[in-house]
Each structure stands twice: as C-alpha cells, then as structure tokens.
Chains A and B, each alone.
Chain A
Amino acid sequence: MEPILDIASLVLVLLGALLCVTAAIGLLRFRDVPQRLHAATKPQVLGLLLIAIAVALSLREWVVVFSLLPVVLIQMATAPLSAHMIGRQAYRNGDVRDLVVNELADSPDEDPERH
C-alpha cells in the first residue's frame, strides 16, 4: 500500500508541475495582460491544491493536512485579489483591446483618460 501512495503523490506533484509549465507557456504565447493573467492564475489555485494533496498523501498525518489547509485557503483568498488589481490597472492603462462587450465603457469611474 505504501509504495502505491508514494507513487500517487509523485504523480500529483508531476501534474502540478505540468500546470506550472502550461502557465509559463501561456505567459510566453498570449498577446496582452488579461490573456496572460488567464494563463497565470491556473497553477496558483489548482497546481497548489494538487501539490498540497501530494504532500498529505506522502506524509499521511492529520497534522500535515491541517497545516496545509490554511496555505491553500489563504492562496485561494489572495490569488483573485492580485489578479483583480492587475486586470483593473491593465484596463485603465488601455491595455485591454478587442473587447466584444465593454460594460465599463459608460462608467465615469473607469474612464481611461482620468487615471
């Protein structure tokens, strides 16, 4: 049983590492900030979650699970925050082009000329 759990944890770590690779490829190949943000936020939650499960499978103790839980929860709380700030600033800088629907166009607070 133990070797199976070890191999399973290594496979989960490998999946997390592959998510990091996809984020890096997305960063290189996408054209502007929002698209790169889309690629970048994948490993921040799912990759970390996979690796936290891998650590828990590898060590097999409840203490480890309860110390990894705040790591994942804090990351889930803060990753959207930074993505939101960067996306908003990109919009204000005029980095966001080719929008199909721009609901912020009528908002006086989000006029790109003002910021």
Chain B
Amino acid sequence: MNVDAVRTVLLVAILVAFAVAAALTIVRIARGPSILDRAVASDVLLTEVLCVLGAEAAINQHVRTIPIMLIIAAIGVFGSVAVARFVARRDQEGQR
C-alpha cells in the first residue's frame, strides 16, 4: 500500500480526533455546572493544547514547539490549583 496514502489517512484522523476532543471539552467548560467541573475541563483543554503542539512537532519534524510544551507542562498546574484553593463554598449552594 502506498505510504503517502496511509500518511494522509492518518493525518486526517488525527486532525478530526483533536478537533472533536477540543469541541467536546469546550462544551463541558460552557455547561459547567460547578466551577470545579470547569476547572477540570480547562485542565483537559490545556492538555490537548500540549498534545497538539507535540503532534505538530512530530508531523512537521521540527523542535520549535518543545520549549512551549515544557513551559505549559510546568505552569499549567497552577490554574486548577488556584481555582480549587480559592473556590467559594457559596458557588455550590446556588446550584441546589
């Protein structure tokens, strides 16, 4: 089987998979219901950005995105930690 054809099929599948994943995650960020659900979903969205940067480096065979991946992996944790630490208890009482 032709290598280029296999490569094209794989590339399309990768693009569709990342697009579907990001779209579904954004739906969860928009719907909530609590701020912790949104924190979890935005953490997943950040992970998907990380994976897309790595995938782009693998597909186009360059190393320019690897420093960005390092920074995102290092400081991405602060977002959800800050939300979890300072989330108000009031947020939950309004929901029930």
Contacts and interface: CB of A to CB of B under 8 A. Distances in A.
Contact of B80 (A17, A24, A82, A115): A82
A43 B48 contact: yes
Contact of A27 (B40, B61, B80, B81): B40
Contact of A74 (B22, B37, B66, B74): B74
B48 A11 contact: no
A27 B28 contact: yes
Interface in A52-97: 52, 54-55, 57-59, 63-64, 67-68, 70-72, 74-75, 78-79, 81-82, 85-86, 88-90, 92-95
Contacts, number: 182
B5 to A, nearest CB: 11
Interface residues of A, number: 57
Given A27-B44, A75-B73, A82-B81, A47 B51 contact: yes
A28 B59 CA distance: 29
Contact of A9 (B17, B24, B58, B83): B58
Contacts of B43: 40, 44, 82, 86
Contacts of B34: 33, 93, 95
Contact of B36 (A67, A75, A81, A93): A93
A17 B17 contact: yes
A20 B17 contact: yes
B77 A95 contact: no
A25 B24 contact: yes
B14 A14 contact: yes
A23 B23 CA distance: 12
Contacts of A81: 77, 81
B92 A43 contact: no
12 contacts: A13-B10, A13-B14, A17-B55, A18-B17, A23-B25, A24-B20, A24-B22, A28-B24, A48-B54, A58-B58, A75-B50, A89-B85
